[in-house]
Amino acid sequence: MNIRNWEQECILRLGDSDSQVRSDAAFALGEIGSGDSIQPLLDLLKDFDKQVRKNAVRALGLIGGCQAIPFLLESLKDSSPFVRGNAVLAIVKISGELHWAEIKQILTAEDHRWVLCLMKRHIGG
Task: Identify the structural domains of the chain with CATH numbers, from first to last.
Answer: 3-123 (1.25.10.10)
pTM for this entry = 0.91
As a whole number of angstroms, the distance between CA 108 and CA 39 comes to 29
As a whole number of angstroms, the distance between CA 71 and CA 68 comes to 5
How do residues 16-73 score in pLDDT, each as one tens digit?
999 999 999 999 999 999 999 999 999 999 999 999 999 999 999 999 889 999 999 9
Contact indicator for 9, 21 with CB cutoff of 8 Å? no
Q: Is the pLDDT of residue 121 over 90?
A: no
pLDDT, position 93:
92
* Higher-confidence position of 1 and 43: 43
